[in-house]
Amino acid sequence: MNESPSRVPRPKSWEALQRALRSIPGGVNSPARAFGAVGGHPIFIASAHAKYLTDLDGNQYLDFIGSWGPMILGHAHPVVLEAIASAAARGTSYGAPTEAESELAELVIELVPSVEKVRFVNSGTEATMSAIRLARGATGRERIIKFVGNYHGHVDSLLVSAGSSAATLGVPNSPGVTVGTSRDTLVLPYNDIDAVREAFAASGDQIAAIIVEPVAGNMGLVPPKPGFLECLREKTIQCGAVLIFDEVMTGFRLAPGGAQELYGIQPDLTTLGKIVGGGLPLAAFGGRADLMDHILPAGKVFQAGTLSGNPLATAAGSATLKLLKQAPPYDYLESISCQLEKGFRSAAEEAGIAVQVQRIGSMLTVFFASQQIVDWVTASQSDCQAFAHFFWGMMDQGVYLPCSQFEAMFVSRAMEPQDIDQTISASRRAFAKLRTMRS
């Protein structure tokens, strides 16, 4: 296949990358931003407004990443900006309680069905780490279950996967994560009800918690099979284990109350991030009051944070959740996301390219695969090279997609039906180009 023109770096982004490489490992502060999965070089962003990103070279892109999820209302929403500015004028951090924290906590409790009490932290990683510690502290058990292809942030005990469909005890997948740390993490295939039943039959009384992305977004978009989440709920109740829904991505995105509202299943604990902070660094874990009261100082499980619940992030989070409550965008997002799904599917079909367009609400992934994706094994059979060409084909036309086959696109409220039409037209040309490259 030919080299796509966009892989030739944009001059100012290229210079910025050289500068960043001298002081920041790999030039980026989070690895996905380096474009490693699609080749080429990252663009450096100068500004963002509503549905658009503008790079240092002045190119404008329709943004389907939305900061990897938070920007459901679009960038620089005036109401959110005003809330941040007015909070900043009163000081940026006090390290002491504020009413703004209670306001955001009340909004979270009102919107997320299973949450009775909530604690704020600064990142999704902190939220999942704390939820796991809480589950272990409350149950007095050590073993946890996670699923292959689910990502829960860079917590040592969760940075574990298994390449086979068999249940295995965790093997760390990053240097620096000790075997000891991940020894108590049991890794099972996503959507595999039998594997869950077997794990509970073998050692149900030792399992502290299951942590799961109720709709997986971190291997591309993979919905739960009917009965999967129900099975997790049933088994954890039977065995006295804690069910943790990691809704860092899906919370306030798939419905006001996230995936748990959409599927009608109440976990014991929920982790939230991204949208709950309105684009500022804030995340949360919450759930049953009796469990949450194990957290220090109400209980004995240690958890703390200098900047946790800081005034700027809570202001941005509350403004965002209030907007979502006042004018719920979910029907609109469903309609334009469905338009996008159908458009991608027919554009690929016209070009004779096999794809699976998988979508729930405003999250979707175009898998370059001929079979439905249900877990990591099927996801990993996708044609990543074809995806990379598609990605650059779209970038050439001003459409910014997640830079990996194994990420979900996020549609924002700032987009209009004509933006979706333009994206579909761009995809028609990108698929056609891919077809020509293949022949």
* Residues at the interface with ligand PLP (CB under 6 A): 68, 123-125, 128, 151-153, 213, 217-218, 246, 248-249, 273, 283
Q: Nearest-CB residue to ligand PLP?
A: 124
Active-site residue, selected from the candidate residues 51, 55, 117, 151: 151
Q: Shortest distance, CB of residue 274 to ligand PLP, whole angstroms?
A: 7
Based on the residue annotation, tell me whether 225 is a catalytic residue of this protein. no
55 CB-near residues (< 8 Å, 6+ apart): 10, 12, 13, 43, 44, 45, 46, 61
Q: Shortest distance, CB of residue 420 to ligand PLP, whole angstroms?
A: 24
Based on the residue annotation, tell me whether 184 is a catalytic residue of this protein. no
Active-site residue, selected from the candidate residues 55, 63, 184, 246: 246
Q: Shortest distance, CB of residue 228 to ligand PLP, whole angstroms?
A: 16
DSSP per-residue letters across 220-282: B-BPPPTTHHHHHHHHHHHHTPEEEEEETTTTTTSSTTHHHHHHT---SEEEE-GGGGTTSS-
CA atoms within 13 A on the CB side of 91: 7
Active-site residue, selected from the candidate residues 274, 330, 383, 433: 274
33 or 322, CB closer to ligand PLP? 33
3-state secondary structure of 140: coil
211 or 301, CB closer to ligand PLP? 211
Complete edge-to-edge strand list for the sheet that includes strand 117-121: 117-121, 283-287, 269-272, 242-247, 207-212, 143-147, 185-188, 168-169
Residue 428: in which H helix or E strand, if any? helix 417-438
Based on the residue annotation, tell me whether 246 is a catalytic residue of this protein. yes
153 or 256, CB closer to ligand PLP? 153
248 or 399, CB closer to ligand PLP? 248
56 or 307, CB closer to ligand PLP? 307
Q: What distance in Å separates the CA atoms of residue 55 and residue 52, rounded to the nearest whole number?
A: 10
Q: Shortest distance, CB of residue 159 to ligand PLP, whole angstroms?
A: 11
Q: Shortest distance, CB of residue 280 to ligand PLP, whole angstroms?
A: 11
Angle of CA points 8, 13, 18, to nearest 5°: 95
Would you please indicate which residues are annotated as catalytic (active-site) residues?
151, 246, 274
